[in-house]
A and B are shown apart, each in its own frame.
Chain A
Amino acid sequence: MSDAGTPLLDFFFAALRAIVIFAAVLQVVPALVYFERRLAAWIQDRIGPNQVGPVGLLQPLADVIKLAFKEDLTPEGVDKWIYRLGPALVYAPAILAFTVIPVGMDLQVASFDVGVIFLLTIGGFSVYGLAFGGWASNNKYSLLGGLRASAQLISYEVALGLSVIAILMTAETVDLNSIIRQQWAAGTAGLLEWNLFQQPLAAFIFLVAAFAETNRLPFDLPECEAELVGGFHTEYTGLKFAMFFMGEYVAMITMSALMVTMFLGGWSLPWVEIPTSPSIVDVALSVGIFMSKLVLLLFFYIWVRWTLPRFRYDQLMNIGWKVFIPLSLLNLGLTALSGVLGWNWLIPLPW
């Protein structure tokens, strides 16, 4: 999308992309919260929020107004600087990580030559927000929540990174648009060219690790209400709490978007030719395809949340270190071996 124009024009387009895409991600959050509450109600056979506006559609707006007008309490004995820094450090990395996600045909806020590594690096920074927020609150439950968060996030980051490396090895690039094109490129196999089917083990590990990285059930131990009140955000109110909350949802969107990009073919459709010089309509269509895949994956996230019970903390650590990391290493080894020998170890296809 970066037309070779004057530097000023380039700057204008870059700014426009950043504003539009970031604003769109922010708009998805309230919609997602509404979606989640309605789905949760549906799964649990209740009605859910249906009073504010038609079928409860204005409920997120009411929630936002409530959060914005709540008194912003700062409890006594907190470390003021770090207490304020916490929510920002959860929220900012989550939205920054979205920068490299191609939401449509070669359409992203900015493209770096380190691509997916940028996303993993920046996304990993949110652990500081959780840890700092938990520590600064001067509350033992918050501290335990922060500790759990940091331990959990680094444990699962290893498995997540290793599963991504397997993809990068087969793709031989870190550029997300190229990874999408490769999932389409061979063409003939169509759907089977998706990394989901090419690298099912990596896809499974990535999915589970993404749940753990975003603190979603069944891995939401850092804010486990039965043991820790609210975990790291117990002492936060009003907009500071909202920032934690939004950071979590944005991280969930970013992780799902990465999953769509790396395993589900991103903005491409199997069997549908990718035009070399896309028109505006093509780009709009590709954004639509990406969004539909994203919504399906977010639905899956919510579905899992309201279906599976929470793990115990020692189970979480055991699964992470003794199952997922060895599995991802095994997958890495098999991928390397298949790369050297030139065969596909999972699907012995004739081509």
Chain B
Amino acid sequence: MIKILIADDHTMFVDGIESILRNETDVELVAKCYDGNSVFNLLKENDIDVLLLDVNLPDISGIDVCKRLRKEYPKLRVLALSMYNEESFISEILKNGASGYILKNTGRAELMKAIQLVHEGQTYFSDAVTQTIMKSMVKGNDSSNKKKKEFPKISRREKEVLQLIIEEFTTQEIANQLFISLKTVESHRSNLLAKLNVRNTAGLVRLTIENNLLDTEKK
């Protein structure tokens, strides 16, 4: 018998889940609550195997609940329930220890399968969720990008500014040449310093030349 706790602020939805689980033989809904803080109280009083956790709770977010539970109840399995099918939520709650992520329009059969798999120590995601994760992996934007390449991509405009900096043009001259304001030139420079992680223009010039940043990018 898998002992279950559900935390979701939508009472009608909780009732719906309850009525489904009541008809099942190998699961038991031990307790239910409608906010994040009650989860901790109920876990103290009951022995729970699987927590059905809504990502979007009124007091503390499901993500933060998950984070705390991982430390206090390492054996507890968390199955995230959510209306959100966005990569940000999925990856956040998975990072914080959830074993599965299902959307709220999941049917009875899928719900039971997810509970069972999670309870056995495996993972489960709704098909739509899997799709979202795949998509963002293909896209591979942001951080994963940084690890692959040594230097982040320098934009067309940044290259133009960088080229002129290396040719020892003054800020005013760069502004005139590119038909942009002094402030815009300064902003490009500051962006370049930040993304190439150098402290000043001298460092910027050195790094660019040493790594042939402009030439390679041009080719």
A and B from one assembly? no
Residues of A participating in the B interface, judged by any CB pair closer than 8 Å: none
Residues of B participating in the A interface, judged by any CB pair closer than 8 Å: none
